[in-house]
Structure 1
Amino acid sequence: MLRRCLSTGRPWKQSREPSKVNLPKGEALYGIHSVRQALQCNQRVFHKLFLRDTNGQKKKPTVDDERYVKEIKAMAVEAGISVSYESKWTLNHAVDDKPHQGVVLFADPLSIPEYIPQEPQLDAQGRPRLILALDEIHDAQNFGAVLRSAHFLGCDSVLTSMRHSAPLSPAVVRASVGAAEVLVSENRLLETRNMHQALAMSKDLGWTIVGACSGAKSLSLPTFELTTPTILVMGNEHRGLKSNIKQCCDVLVTIPGQTNHASKVDSLNLSVATGILLYQLLHVK
């Protein structure tokens, strides 16, 4: 008996794609910039590159995208990585329907070194260094966007928590537009088993610990100036800084906003707030 769609009365179309696809080992990095940066930084073991088979595709890629895909393929071939052209369905399946832009690279996860507190030093230009500490950030998009801002704005390094934090997943790498790969390759992305202990030890060595937190005791951001090597701590998206982290801070700072108390929107997204703080501390005299 022929099955028909209840809404249209037309026969169901049988899918031509297989119900199961055997994917290469490793995690699936996706998106042109993420994959391109991963290959350039070469911090992983790579297994296979999937490119979308564009035969019969009506929508043509942009000139830039076409150039980047050719560059990605050339880098993969030079590195001895197997390349295959697959259907859009297969690529969608490999990344759970995330926006892959026709490029998926299977690779081992990145390895992040553990943070070892050291005495603070000035950077090459004689300016105070700034480390960004992320305490238990849960959202992959926030994590990636923060890494992108930290790299772009010239943060010395980024410190993350090993536990209760979003892993450095392909989603994070995609949201960072590949900045995560660069930070790892430059040894600027570090992690710690115990954030409070890492901050306390750094403070004893001479680092100034600054927490981002609203409240009566917090300084307005424009009144605070970066004059000593500093660790800026951002708390969790929901609860903010934990009490033991606050106690470790020398200073608390807040971003001033409008004073309309009738508004229900009284805070900023974590990644937006981090970008504002980093720009103010690193680029505003």
Structure 2
Amino acid sequence: MQTNTPFKDLIFGNHPVLEALESGKEINKILVLRGAVSEHTKHVLQLASQRRIPVQKVPVEKLNRVTRKNHQGVIAFLSPVSYHRIEDVIPNLYEEGKNPLVVVLDHITDVRNVGAICRSAECMGAQAILLPTKGAGALNADAVKASAGAIFNLHICRTDHLEGAIRYLKESGLSVVSCTEKGSETLYNGVLSEPTCVILGAEDTGIQPALLALSDQHLRIPMAGQTGSLNVSVSAGIILAECLKQRTSVENTVA
């Protein structure tokens, strides 16, 4: 449940960050002073590694740009959402009798795009978002705002190995669909009514080759104008609307 209290998305200093790590608070990433060798720093790095939290070692100038207060060489960015394991989410969806629809964000870094995609995903019936631990836009207050709160109604999953997670989804019966302007079929010829994993890539680099190779379908959005591409969040909305259309059609036929 949301409140009107602003989300405080960062903490700093050795003891506050250690307490956050030890208490299990959700953390998007941690900035640590490059070259720091104190016992506190080592403890922070150890706990972050155990919890698979991304750590960036940065110069003091970057830390000072984040906060002018006494950060003691360590800053943690808190997450307003709880993270899940995709390996736990999929079995639960099947047990609940749901038709899984998972949206994978392949290194999409713009937090507002991430939030907007989450909004479309939740509206169109997706149950989960899968992100890489490193190289993805942080689910911070800006992402929550862009999602209009939809993030809180989704299972947000992180993985250290996106390729391995996609293999798991395939083994779990999901059809893997890559959305790319070089797709061999148009979106409207795709099969999206069955358990599906939709992969979206960053606008500049697209979907990585390893994930394209794992995909069962490569779909493109047909366009009639002169502009060569769509914003990734707009593409997500179009693709997920087609998923909902096909799934609703199948449900009505069965009924």
1:251-262 alignment to 2 at 5 Å?
Answer: 251-258=217-224
Which letter does structure 2 place at the counterpart of 1:268? L
Looking at structure 2, the residues matched to 123 and 257 of structure 1 have their Cα atoms a distance apart, in angstroms, of 39
Residues 1:129 and 2:91 aligned together: no
Looking at structure 1, the residues matched to 220 and 159 of structure 2 have their Cα atoms a distance apart, in angstroms, of 25
In structure 2, the residue matched to 1:282 is 244
Question: Which of the residues 27, 52, 69 maps onto 2:9?
Answer: 27
Which letter does structure 1 place at the counterpart of 2:103? L
TM-score (norm 2): 0.62
Looking at structure 2, the residues matched to 25 and 275 of structure 1 have their Cα atoms a distance apart, in angstroms, of 27
Q: Which has the higher helix share?
A: 2
In structure 1, the residue matched to 2:210 is 244
Q: Percent identity?
A: 28
Looking at structure 2, the residues matched to 175 and 155 of structure 1 have their Cα atoms a distance apart, in angstroms, of 17
Contact 2:100 2:174 in 1 (8 A): no
Distance change >3 Å, CA 157–CA 109, structure 1 → 2: closer
Unaligned runs of 5+ in 1: 1-23, 29-43, 46-106
Which letter does structure 2 place at the counterpart of 1:26? K
Can you list the C-alpha shifts for 1:98-124, whole angstroms capped at 9, x where unaligned?
xxxxxxxxx874331232175696586
Looking at structure 2, the residues matched to 169 and 108 of structure 1 have their Cα atoms a distance apart, in angstroms, of 6
Unaligned runs of 5+ in 2: 1-5, 11-24, 27-77, 250-255
Question: Which of the residues 78, 87, 100 maps onto 1:116?
Answer: 87
Residues 1:150 and 2:115 aligned together: no
Cα shift at 1:154: 1.3
Question: Which one has a bigger Cα radius of gyration?
Answer: 1
Cα shift at 1:176: 0.8
1:111-260 alignment to 2 at 5 Å?
Answer: 111-116=82-87, 118=90, 128-183=99-154, 188-215=155-182, 217-258=183-224
Looking at structure 2, the residues matched to 273 and 189 of structure 1 have their Cα atoms a distance apart, in angstroms, of 20
Cα shift at 1:165: 0.6
Distance change >3 Å, CA 120–CA 229, structure 1 → 2: farther
Can you list the C-alpha shifts for 1:60-104, whole angstroms capped at 9, x where unaligned?
xxxxxxxxxxxxxxxxxxxxxxxxxxxxxxxxxxxxxxxxxxxxx
TM-score (norm 1): 0.56
Looking at structure 2, the residues matched to 172 and 121 of structure 1 have their Cα atoms a distance apart, in angstroms, of 25
Looking at structure 1, the residues matched to 133 and 228 of structure 2 have their Cα atoms a distance apart, in angstroms, of 30
